[in-house]
Amino acid sequence: MEKKDIDWGELTFSYQPCDYSYVCDYENGAWGEGGLTADHTVTLSECAGILHYCQECFEGLKAYTTEDGSIVCFRPDLNARRMADSAERLVMPPFPEDRFVDAVRQVVAANAAWVPPFGSGATLYVRPVMFATGEVIGVRPADRYQFRILVTPVGPYFKGGVKPITICVSEYDRAAPHGTGNIKAGLNYAMSLYPYEKAHERGFSENLYLDSATRTYVEETGGANVLFVDGEGRLVVPQSATDSILPSITRRSLVSVARDMLGMEVVERPVRFDEVDGFVECGLCGTAAVISPVGRIVAGDHEVVFNGGADEMGPVMTRLRDTLTGIQAGTVEAPEGWIVRIPVE
């Protein structure tokens, strides 16, 4: 297998069609056979449910080249499970979890030439998506759906080193109590674009959302969970009493890494925003960047500064990030079942 002629180091986080996508249709009450396609477009009825009532959910994971040259995916079974949960909440038929993992295997193997080499910092981003193709005019669930997986090579999230970002506490809300904040649905992003643009105009990288019922507790940013380190070196992980935080796979993995591999104490609990002043490190976690360090959180005219205002990632976040990226690159031994090898001819 010959790799594509790409300047891997110059890739950004943008879409570049590869050779194959995976596609499978649901109709007459059952998922079809599914398979690879070289067609990267979708043709829809103007009355498709996705266009009117937004029945759609998605996932995001990556394929990596390890030090020994094999291609691996990180915990795709958790993406399968989460997508089934998202689908159920939106009254869509879950794509069977074993078939999800198999489809990821197939589409990554078929695009092996697009998986960036070890050490390039780049990865192959894998984006499963499911949406209503069946026609609806009255408000009800559709009777036909499509599940697809596209892949695209993406560059290192941080070019030229990791600089701590400044985020602001949003005056908008992300998720209602017991709403859809805990599923990965496009609808949670559509309404976040306006506050995102507003935050950018004011010079902030992201919005930190508080619980929308009381505006007291820290929830997450638009697309990443939040982690803190307290003065005793404990990892403090915000929990939602109203089930409105997205269950990040990176966050759950970092909690295991901290507890089981680094021997750290981990506290998962609701975190009031007024406690954040006492924490020493802050980071955002998700598949895209693993951990992005937060240097400052601005709330009105109040500013919380982390890691002593240093222009680099704090020591605890650095250890966590290095351990998890080591697991993904095959240089640190992975816990059982975390790494799925993709057989390539």
Which stretches of the chain bind ligand PLP, using CB under 6 A?
60, 184, 220, 223-225, 246, 248-251, 286-287
- Specify the residue, 85 or 143, whose C-beta has the smaller distance to ligand PLP: 85
How far apart are CB 13 and ligand PLP at their closest, in Å? Answer: 13
> Contact, 135 vs 49, CB < 8 A?
yes
How far apart are CB 144 and ligand PLP at their closest, in Å? Answer: 26
- Specify the residue, 49 or 286, whose C-beta has the smaller distance to ligand PLP: 286
- Specify the residue, 133 or 287, whose C-beta has the smaller distance to ligand PLP: 287
- Specify the residue, 195 or 223, whose C-beta has the smaller distance to ligand PLP: 223
How far apart are CB 209 and ligand PLP at their closest, in Å? Answer: 9
> Contact, 224 vs 248, CB < 8 A?
yes
How far apart are CB 224 and ligand PLP at their closest, in Å? Answer: 5
- Specify the residue, 162 or 284, whose C-beta has the smaller distance to ligand PLP: 284
How far apart are CB 297 and ligand PLP at their closest, in Å? Answer: 17
Residue 23: both structure tokens together: 């596609």
- Specify the residue, 164 or 286, whose C-beta has the smaller distance to ligand PLP: 286
How far apart are CB 12 and ligand PLP at their closest, in Å? Answer: 18
How far apart are CB 184 and ligand PLP at their closest, in Å? Answer: 5
- Specify the residue, 60 or 141, whose C-beta has the smaller distance to ligand PLP: 60
